């Protein structure tokens, strides 16, 4: 039912866009929306046929975000991305459709196939190692794309395809944190070590987690990917709070964050530039602040109702009005054409994901599943908030994507994994978790990280 | 099998030991996320509603730049409907701005594809291109129109005849004339000489070369002297000193200076001697405020400033607008009473304060600022916001009037009346005539103050006059400065008289 509504919205948007571009009423070339809606219904059918009793809202919401993405990509200059597959030159919108289809397939497979979670919960340290290894690969293999020395080293190139490992890393991090916290949360919640007025859990229990976090953060900082660092940190703190319900951890974490941020600001020019642009983009309107200011112009031009799909000014000819409009500034572009009301609706879609995710966590059968559901939800919601906030100059702008709307395969795939796992977790027919091993709670963790 | 229990239920958590339940933590996370989404919504509201208009009309906005190329642009007309800026098709079909009156450049500025905009063309760019519609609700309507632009014509308060007369009176001299209607703040003329030909600047063919040659010019034609030129004021500043003295209560109109001794040897302030010249106008008894203004006694005003004190003098000049850019359609430079880093509230010492009293310390003023001082005295001490645009008219007949607004009451009406009386004496009195008699407007009581501002040790002084007429019901206030032209009485005073006469005659 919701899927059908979403399909109607996509077709309405498509016709509106095509008509605006052609200057007359037309439905344009309906291939892209037809294929996309077809895939979504097929997935839904698969869910029904396999007898899964999963969350009924997540798929349509995800589908709606994808629809917005397709509408935007069809509207932007097609030359922003390109890939030749056997003589077939694909532009921005067809490529995004390709990625979306792959992502939806991954989502469906995970949602249907994941019947138990032992492969996640039992091998958390293995996952952590895989994550770190993935990041290290970026340094071993030649960087993709721009060869600038100060550019973020985010990309990994395998054959013709480049990927961003930090997108996958965020999922792995959540799996590890959920596993570790579920196992040790009783101890972490207890006060054992006092450090002046601060009560800390036994140090050995904190170490592996902090180490994992520290390593991930350090590598991310070396990669110059501030957005991912912020995302990891926020998700980490929130999960810690959920697992222990100790607000002191959050305060401590914020303090650590402030100290770290100050040090980074002093030490690294790229951090300083980011913060300075945030504070006053007009100090350098044609240089560092250009992107942010162009984004704000787009918001201003949109106003309350927006200019209408296709009637905005995201591009002059083939030059996008905002650099990185198809990745970092999709929200500004959509808010220009759909207005504040449309923008709020997009925000509301993420709010729905948050609500569904937290609900799945509340219904979860044990701690691991609950923490995993919270973590996965946060990964999407916080990431959306960070980049939307960056577009709106509420927080410093970082180069992370808007889940399911930004162009890019890695981001779509990683977020599809997240939603796929959430769907699997929401399935009432899924295998019950293994009984808690009560013995383990009273001895040191049997596994320690390398 | 289900020994793990439900996380939400207290039982489950209890069964797992001392670990707290996850359920209520989830609720708080949900609340935190709600706050987060609320913040994002507020951010969107700020940029898309509160700031939307100013963002959409920002000169850096690509949309505004596109409009400058493509959109029809409104005309600009003077108070009598004379067109002072219009559009023409260039040789290659592009839209070119034309300016028939060269004297209008300091007011209008220019609009060029290459160099952007300046002057009123910049200040009212959004209205001229029609990006900012006049009527409410038009913004929403426009989404359904094929033509998104709604250009407006600007109707100015400037009288182009007065403007041109002032420019030709200045002729080859460097200087500035600013005339204001005191009761409304409408600017009647705003002249800066020399200026440049905006037609040549916006010409795609020779514009760049022309600009380059203007930049190299020693007479600085690109500087708008009226709003951004800062000059030593000399005796015209005595009006500000008088306002501070009377307003603070340090002096009253009957206060007399100087002593007999000071007639002979001058007034000695910390080793610096202030003299009055020419001595022949000095009477053989101490002067009161009216007499001191009439003969322009430096000694009297030095005494007055020292008695008033540095803090009061600064505070009262700030009420006139000193110390900050003025609230105006064009960018303005801030006028100053002192350079500002000395120990005596910014003054270096009492010598500087005494010199500032008659505009010879570190005092620097813009012609617009001095015109406002005159207009303020003329308007019973109430300063009106100066403005150049009377109204905007869109093509479909919509009209938006720019009303007059009060900036602030600078001084009480009785003080303004005393100062007016003194300024009338300075033009029409027995001794005042000798200095500023030629500012007198036929058949109208004329108030004014001349000035001869020493600049450096040698050379001719700046020739200054500020004043207004008729004194009883003032309709024009004026400031005239001619750089390095000689005594006030020689150049600026007769020029101001002619221009005020011209305006009052033509308006009848």
- Minimal CA–CA distance to A295: which of A326, A337, A323? A323
C-alpha distance from residue B374 to each of B15, B18, B323, B410, B439 (Å): 87, 82, 18, 12, 14
Name the residue facing A299 among B21, B34, B47 (closest C-beta): B47
Write out chain B residues lying below 8 Å of A248, CB-based.
Answer: none
Q: Do B58 and A241 touch (CB under 8 A)?
A: no
- Minimal CA–CA distance to A431: which of B1, B429, B338, B34? B1
Average pLDDT of B17-36?
Answer: 79
Which helix (DSSP H) or strand (DSSP E) does residue B192 occupy?
strand B187-193
Q: Where are the alpha helices (DSSP H) in A223-319?
A: 226-244, 247-267, 269-279, 290-302
Q: Do B8 and A362 touch (CB under 8 A)?
A: yes
The answer, for A153 touching chain B at a CB cutoff of 8 Å, is no
Which helix (DSSP H) or strand (DSSP E) does residue B194 occupy?
none
Choice between B65 and B341, residue whose per-residue pLDDT is larger: B341
> Is 90 exceeded by the pLDDT of residue B117?
no
Name the residue facing B4 among A361, A381, A436 (closest C-beta): A436
Q: What is the DSSP letter of A123?
A: T
User: How many contacts does A have with B, using Cβ atoms within 8 A?
Assistant: 167
pLDDT at residue number A274: 79
CA distance, residue B73 to nearest chain A CA (Å):
20
CA distance, residue A193 to nearest chain B CA (Å):
17
> Is 50 exceeded by the pLDDT of residue A105?
yes
Q: What is the DSSP letter of B4?
A: T
Q: Do B48 and A304 touch (CB under 8 A)?
A: yes
The answer, for A393 touching chain B at a CB cutoff of 8 Å, is yes
Name the residue facing A308 among B24, B45, B143 (closest C-beta): B143
Residue B23 in tokens: 């359920």
Given a contact cutoff of 8 angstroms between Cβ atoms, the answer to whether B453 and B469 are in contact is no
> Which of the listed ranges A106-120, A203-217, B301-315 does the model predict with the highest average pLDDT?
B301-315
pLDDT at residue number B278: 53
> Is 50 exceeded by the pLDDT of residue A442?
no
Residue B170 and residue A272: Cα distance in Å, rounded? Answer: 53
Q: Do A245 and B20 touch (CB under 8 A)?
A: yes
When pLDDT is cut at 50, 70 and 90, the band that residue A196 belongs to is low
Q: Do B56 and A301 touch (CB under 8 A)?
A: yes
Q: What are the pLDDT digits (tens) for B446-498? A: 999 999 998 888 889 999 999 999 999 999 999 999 999 888 888 999 999 99
When pLDDT is cut at 50, 70 and 90, the band that residue A430 belongs to is low
Percent of chain A with pLDDT over 90: 10
C-alpha distance from residue A200 to each of A178, A187, A236, A392, A440 (Å): 20, 10, 17, 38, 21
Average pLDDT of B72-101?
Answer: 87
Average pLDDT of B125-138?
Answer: 71
> Is 60 exceeded by the pLDDT of residue A230?
yes
Average predicted confidence (pLDDT) for chain A:
77
C-alpha distance from residue B465 to each of A321, B453, B458 (Å): 52, 11, 21
Name the residue facing B26 among A347, A374, A392 (closest C-beta): A374
Q: What are the pLDDT digits (tens) for B195-230? A: 999 999 988 888 889 999 999 888 899 999 999 999
Indicate the domain borders of chain B. 234-390+404-507
Report the predicted TM-score, pTM, of the whole model to 2 decimal places: 0.64
The answer, for B65 touching chain A at a CB cutoff of 8 Å, is no
pLDDT at residue number B261: 67
CA distance, residue B34 to nearest chain A CA (Å):
8
The answer, for A373 touching chain B at a CB cutoff of 8 Å, is no
When pLDDT is cut at 50, 70 and 90, the band that residue A20 belongs to is low
Label residues A189-204 b or e (16+ Cβ within 10 Å = b): bbeeeeeeeeebbeee
Closest-CA residue of B relative to A442 is B17
> Is 70 exceeded by the pLDDT of residue A163?
no
> Is 70 exceeded by the pLDDT of residue A199?
no
Write out chain A residues lying below 8 Å of B44, CB-based.
Answer: 299, 335, 340, 343-344, 347, 392
Choice between B435 and B260, residue whose per-residue pLDDT is larger: B435
The answer, for B11 touching chain A at a CB cutoff of 8 Å, is no
The answer, for B277 touching chain A at a CB cutoff of 8 Å, is no
The answer, for B25 touching chain A at a CB cutoff of 8 Å, is yes
Name the residue facing B48 among A238, A302, A389 (closest C-beta): A302
Given a contact cutoff of 8 angstroms between Cβ atoms, the answer to whether B301 and B266 are in contact is no
> Is 80 exceeded by the pLDDT of residue A369?
yes
Q: Do A299 and B37 touch (CB under 8 A)?
A: no
When pLDDT is cut at 50, 70 and 90, the band that residue B277 belongs to is low
Given a contact cutoff of 8 angstroms between Cβ atoms, the answer to whether B269 and B350 are in contact is yes
When pLDDT is cut at 50, 70 and 90, the band that residue A435 belongs to is low
> Is 80 exceeded by the pLDDT of residue A3?
no
Give me the long-range contacts of B65-68 (CB less than 8 A, separation at least 24).
B66/A313, B66/A316, B67/B129, B67/B130, B67/B131, B67/B149, B68/B111, B68/B113, B68/B116, B68/B117, B68/B125, B68/B129
pLDDT at residue number B134: 61
Average pLDDT of A316-340?
Answer: 78
Neighbouring C-beta atoms of residue A273, cutoff 10 Å: 16
Average predicted confidence (pLDDT) for chain B:
86
- Residues 138-177 of chain B whose Cβ lies under 8 A from any Cβ of chain A: 139-140, 143
Choice between B458 and A206, residue whose per-residue pLDDT is larger: B458
Least confident interval from A57-66, A171-180, A337-346, B63-72: B63-72
Choice between B143 and B267, residue whose per-residue pLDDT is larger: B267
> Is 70 exceeded by the pLDDT of residue A159?
no
When pLDDT is cut at 50, 70 and 90, the band that residue B339 belongs to is confident
When pLDDT is cut at 50, 70 and 90, the band that residue A91 belongs to is confident
CA distance, residue B57 to nearest chain A CA (Å):
9
The answer, for B24 touching chain A at a CB cutoff of 8 Å, is yes
The answer, for A82 touching chain B at a CB cutoff of 8 Å, is no
Write out chain B residues lying below 8 Å of A432, CB-based.
Answer: 1-2, 4
Look at residue B184 and give its three-state secondary structure: coil
Write out chain A residues lying below 8 Å of B47, CB-based.
Answer: 296, 299-300, 392-393
Q: Do A432 and B4 touch (CB under 8 A)?
A: yes
Q: What are the pLDDT digits (tens) for A272-285? A: 887 888 888 877 77
The answer, for B58 touching chain A at a CB cutoff of 8 Å, is yes
Angle at A228 between CA A235 and CA A445, to 5 degrees: 50
> Is 80 exceeded by the pLDDT of residue A313?
no
Residue A115 in tokens: 């019947």
> Is 70 exceeded by the pLDDT of residue A448?
no
The answer, for A190 touching chain B at a CB cutoff of 8 Å, is yes
Q: Do B43 and A350 touch (CB under 8 A)?
A: no
Average pLDDT of B113-138?
Answer: 79
- Residues 201-230 of chain B whose Cβ lies under 8 A from any Cβ of chain A: none
> Is 60 exceeded by the pLDDT of residue B1?
no
Which helix (DSSP H) or strand (DSSP E) does residue B69 occupy?
helix B62-70
The answer, for A414 touching chain B at a CB cutoff of 8 Å, is no
Average pLDDT of B177-200?
Answer: 95
Given a contact cutoff of 8 angstroms between Cβ atoms, the answer to whether B354 and B272 are in contact is yes
Q: Which of the residues B5, B36, B56, B139 would you substitute to probe the A interface, choosing the one with the greatest number of A C-beta atoms within 10 Å? A: B36
The answer, for A304 touching chain B at a CB cutoff of 8 Å, is yes
- Residues 357-416 of chain B whose Cβ lies under 8 A from any Cβ of chain A: none
Q: Do B48 and A340 touch (CB under 8 A)?
A: yes
The answer, for A350 touching chain B at a CB cutoff of 8 Å, is yes
Q: What are the pLDDT digits (tens) for A343-365? A: 999 999 999 999 999 989 888 87
Write out chain A residues lying below 8 Å of B29, CB-based.
Answer: 238, 241-242, 358, 374, 378
Write out chain B residues lying below 8 Å of A385, CB-based.
Answer: 36-37, 40
Q: Do A300 and B55 touch (CB under 8 A)?
A: yes
Write out chain A residues lying below 8 Å of B69, CB-based.
Answer: none
Write out chain B residues lying below 8 Å of A303, CB-based.
Answer: 48-49, 52, 56, 139
Look at residue B464 and give its three-state secondary structure: strand
CA distance, residue A414 to nearest chain B CA (Å):
22
When pLDDT is cut at 50, 70 and 90, the band that residue B416 belongs to is very high
pLDDT at residue number A417: 92
pLDDT at residue number B24: 80
> Is 50 exceeded by the pLDDT of residue A303?
yes
Q: Do B143 and A307 touch (CB under 8 A)?
A: yes
- Minimal CA–CA distance to B462: which of B487, B479, B439? B487
Percent of chain B with pLDDT over 70: 87
pLDDT at residue number B427: 94
Homologous superfamily (CATH) for B234-390+404-507: DD-peptidase/beta-lactamase superfamily (3.40.710.10)
pLDDT at residue number B311: 93
Q: Do A436 and B143 touch (CB under 8 A)?
A: no
Closest-CA residue of B relative to A185 is B19
Q: Residue A413: CA atoms inside 13 Å, Cβ hemisphere, count?
A: 14
> Which of the listed ranges A31-35, A373-377, B372-376 does the model predict with the highest average pLDDT?
B372-376
CA distance, residue B71 to nearest chain A CA (Å):
16
When pLDDT is cut at 50, 70 and 90, the band that residue A439 belongs to is very low
Strand partners of residue B389: B156
Q: Where are the alpha helices (DSSP H) in A50-91?
A: 58-75
């Amino acid at each position: 039912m919701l899927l059908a509504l979403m399909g109607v919205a996509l077709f309405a948007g498509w016709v509106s866009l095509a008509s605006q571009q052609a200057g007359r009423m037309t439905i344009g070339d309906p291939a892209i929306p037809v294929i996309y809606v077809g895939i979504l219904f097929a997935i839904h059918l698969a869910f029904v046929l396999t007898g899964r009793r999963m969350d009924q809202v997540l798929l349509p919401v995800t589908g709606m975000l994808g629809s917005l993405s397709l509408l935007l990509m069809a509207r932007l200059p097609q030359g922003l991305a390109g890939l030749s597959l056997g003589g077939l030159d694909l532009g921005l919108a067809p490529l995004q459709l390709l990625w979306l289809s792959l992502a939806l397939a991954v989502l469906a497979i995970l949602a249907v196939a994941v019947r138990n979670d032992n492969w996640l919960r039992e091998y958390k340290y293995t996952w952590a190692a895989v994550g770190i290894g993935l990041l290290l690969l970026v340094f071993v293999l030649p960087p993709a794309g721009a060869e600038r020395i100060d550019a973020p080293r985010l990309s990994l190139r395998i054959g013709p395809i480049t990927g961003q490992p930090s997108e996958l890393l965020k999922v792995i991090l959540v799996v590890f944190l959920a596993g570790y916290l579920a196992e040790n949360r009783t101890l972490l919640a207890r006060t054992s070590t006092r450090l002046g007025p601060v009560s800390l859990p036994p140090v050995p229990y904190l170490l592996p987690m902090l180490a994992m976090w520290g390593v991930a953060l350090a590598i991310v900082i070396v990669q110059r990917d501030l957005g991912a660092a912020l995302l990891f940190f926020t998700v980490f703190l929130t999960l810690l709070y959920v697992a222990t319900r100790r607000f002191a951890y959050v305060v401590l974490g914020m303090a650590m964050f402030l100290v770290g941020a100050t040090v980074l600001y002093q030490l690294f020019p790229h951090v300083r530039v980011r913060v300075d642009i945030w504070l006053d983009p007009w100090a350098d309107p044609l240089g560092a602040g250009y992107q942010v200011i162009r984004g704000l112009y787009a918001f201003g031009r949109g106003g309350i109702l927006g200019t209408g799909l296709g009637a905005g000014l995201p591009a002059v000819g083939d030059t996008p009005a905002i650099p990185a409009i198809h990745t970092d500034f999709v929200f500004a572009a959509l808010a220009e054409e759909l207005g504040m009301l449309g923008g709020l609706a997009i925000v509301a879609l993420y709010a729905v994901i948050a609500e569904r995710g937290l609900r799945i966590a509340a219904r979860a059968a044990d701690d691991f599943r609950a923490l995993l559901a919270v973590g996965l939800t946060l990964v999407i919601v916080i990431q959306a908030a960070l980049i939307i906030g960056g577009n709106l100059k509420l927080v410093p702008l970082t180069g992370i994507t808007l889940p399911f709307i930004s162009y890019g395969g890695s981001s779509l795939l990683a977020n599809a994994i997240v939603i796929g796992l959430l769907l699997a977790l929401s399935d009432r027919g899924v295998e019950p978790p293994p009984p808690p091993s009560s013995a383990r709670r009273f001895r040191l963790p049997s596994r320690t990280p390398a | 099998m289900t020994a793990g229990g439900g996380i939400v239920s207290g039982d489950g958590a209890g069964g797992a030991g001392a670990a707290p339940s996850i359920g209520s933590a989830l609720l708080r996370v949900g609340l935190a996320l709600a706050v987060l989404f609320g913040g994002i919504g507020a951010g969107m509201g700020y940029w898309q509603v509160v700031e939307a208009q100013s963002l959409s009309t920002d000169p850096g906005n690509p949309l505004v730049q596109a409009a400058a190329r493509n959109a029809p642009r409104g005309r600009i007309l003077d108070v009598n409907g004379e067109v002072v800026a219009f559009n023409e098709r260039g040789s290659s079909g592009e839209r070119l701005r034309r300016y028939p009156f060269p004297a209008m450049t300091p007011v209008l500025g220019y609009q060029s594809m290459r160099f952007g905009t300046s002057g009123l063309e910049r200040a009212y760019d959004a209205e001229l291109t029609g990006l900012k519609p006049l009527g409410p609700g038009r913004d929403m309507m426009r989404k359904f129109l094929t033509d998104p632009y709604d250009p407006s014509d600007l109707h100015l308060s400037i009288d182009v005849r007065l403007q041109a007369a002032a420019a030709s009176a200045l002729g080859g001299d460097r200087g500035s004339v600013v005339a204001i209607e005191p009761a409304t703040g409408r600017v009647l003329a705003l002249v800066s000489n020399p200026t440049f030909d905006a037609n040549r600047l916006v010409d795609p063919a020779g514009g760049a070369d022309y600009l380059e040659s203007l930049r190299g010019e020693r007479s600085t034609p690109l500087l708008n002297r009226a709003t951004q030129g800062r000059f030593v004021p000399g005796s015209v500043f005595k009006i500000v000193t008088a306002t501070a003295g009377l307003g603070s209560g340090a002096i009253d109109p009957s206060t007399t200076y100087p002593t007999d001794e000071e007639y002979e040897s001058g007034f000695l302030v910390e080793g610096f001697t202030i003299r009055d010249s020419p001595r022949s106008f000095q009477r053989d008894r101490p002067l009161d405020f009216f007499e001191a203004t009439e003969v322009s006694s430096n000694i009297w005003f030095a005494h007055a400033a020292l008695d008033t004190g540095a803090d009061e003098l600064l505070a009262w000049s700030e009420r006139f607008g000193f110390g900050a850019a003025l609230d105006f359609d064009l960018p303005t430079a801030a006028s100053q009473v002192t350079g500002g880093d000395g120990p005596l509230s910014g003054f270096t010492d009492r010598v500087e304060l005494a010199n500032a009293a008659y505009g010879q310390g570190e005092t620097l003023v813009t012609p617009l600022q001095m015109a406002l001082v005159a207009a303020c005295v003329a308007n019973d001490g109430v300063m009106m916001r100066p403005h150049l645009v009377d109204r905007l008219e869109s093509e479909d007949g919509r009209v938006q009037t720019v009303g007059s607004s009060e900036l602030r009451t600078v001084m009480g009406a009785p003080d303004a009346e005393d100062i007016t009386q003194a300024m009338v004496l300075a033009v029409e009195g027995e001794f005042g005539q000798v200095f500023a008699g030629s500012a007198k407007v036929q058949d109208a009581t004329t108030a004014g103050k001349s000035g001869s501002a020493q600049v450096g040790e040698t050379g001719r002084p700046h020739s200054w006059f500020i004043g207004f007429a008729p004194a009883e019901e003032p309709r024009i206030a004026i400031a005239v400065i001619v750089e390095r032209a000689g005594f006030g009485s020689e150049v600026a005073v007769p020029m101001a008289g002619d221009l005020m006469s011209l305006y009052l005659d033509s308006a009848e």
